[in-house]
Amino acid sequence: MANIAKNFVGEILNMAGIEINGPQPWDIKVHNEKFYSRALKGSIGLGESYMDGWWDVTALDEFFYRIIKANLEKEIGFNFKTAMFILNNTVFNRQNENRSSEVAEKHYNLGNDLYTAMLDPLLAYSSGYWLNASNLAQAQQAKLDLICRKINLQPGDDILDIGGGWGSFALYASKKYKVHVDVVTISKAQIELGRKLCKDLDVCFILRDYREIDGSYDNIVSVGMFEHVGYKNYRDYMEIAARHLKTNGLFLLHTIGRNKSVKSTDPWIEKYIFPNSMLPSITQIGQSIEGLFVMEDWHNFSADYDKTLIVWHANFEKNWPSLKDKYGERFYRMWRYYLLSCAGSFRARRNQLWQIVLSKNGVAGGYQTIR
């Protein structure tokens, strides 16, 4: 049985140009023969066996790029556990208000030391914009400025940032464009550090679920938060944004997206990284905004997320010696697997990165596209 599993896995990997114990940096090095049967259990088996040290790949990002580009998951097919996971996500609203704080506790509250070591000085935890940037700090400032220009920020504007993290957008927009920003987030750790970073700026952090938002705003932004909303809540989310956006305001949605509509996420990502998450499709977003918003602009710069993740991983590796006593070896392998598998997915163009500009009634005379 073990040899059958090994031969099958070897044949599947060969379809992606990956060789077991081969010489290329994307070839897999197997340390435990039980890996082969465990890998056939799908995403969970592959990820957990890596976390347990059963296999290694020098260029993990290239390994996943090749696997995803070759659509190897179709060759393996579904197992029962994966099927039940998808069914559970279809029947139940896993992103309801009672469950919304789970991702904060499991991911965003892990430790500000981890994110400070990995991210840029503004702690922007979404893709940078690399068009004219040569390093991560420049790419993140370019992304933040792009957002500000796309919604035509004016001094004195009241801005709502839904899921604003440690306040990177709020800090940048308040300092450069002289606006007031309310940051709504469910992460206590992010608020604690964000308030320090935005001290003396016109920024207010609010510990609140997006369904509890108050007030009326000139513009709304949401950067890297929609991935946690869930397809059962997309319409409610858009209705809330429309309700709190002033008549002539703009809503900029910055989100990772998928090429196909799904109702669940990768089981390993769900278990270890982002519980209750899922990526929207163009169809799902389009249905959620129908009758509420006019789509003024849709900008895809997904290749930039590959670059961003590679730099985050390099920062993580460089600063790991100061983190390892707190987080441990299994976390190191888990986090490395997370960052580089996502980089491979963006490189293979499985994941997209969208900035969508929405208006309530259409911009008079037409919206001027900004890049």
Backbone angles phi, psi at 221, to 5 degrees: -130, 150
**C-alpha–C-alpha distance, residues 223 and 254, integer Å:** 5
Contacts of residue 91, Cβ cutoff 8 Å, sequence gap at least 6: none
- 213 token code pair: 């938002």
Q: Give the active site residues.
A: 342
**C-alpha–C-alpha distance, residues 350 and 76, integer Å:** 18
Surface-to-core class of residue 342, CB atoms within 10 Å of its CB (0-12 exposed, 13-18 middle, 19+ buried): buried
**C-alpha–C-alpha distance, residues 94 and 229, integer Å:** 9
Ranges of beta strands (E only) in 48-202 are 55-57, 158-162, 180-185
Residue 156, Ramachandran bin (φ over 0: left; ψ between -120 and 50: alpha; else beta): left
Q: Strand pairing partners for 180?
A: 158
Residues in the chain: 371
Give yes or no for a contact between 238 and 289, defined as CB atoms under 8 angstroms apart. yes
In DSSP notation, 189-257 reads HHHHHHHHHTTTSSEEEEE--GGG--S-EEEEEEES-GGGT-GGGHHHHHHHHHHHEEEEEEEEEEEEE
Whole-angstrom Cα Rg for the chain: 21
Give yes or no for a contact between 250 and 151, defined as CB atoms under 8 angstroms apart. yes
**C-alpha–C-alpha distance, residues 276 and 61, integer Å:** 24
Give, in order, the Cα–Cα distances in Å from 302 to each of 121, 260, 331.
22, 15, 27
DSSP 89: H
Q: Strand pairing partners for 181?
A: 159, 203
Strands 351-359 vs 245-258: parallel, antiparallel or unpaired: antiparallel
**C-alpha–C-alpha distance, residues 289 and 340, integer Å:** 33
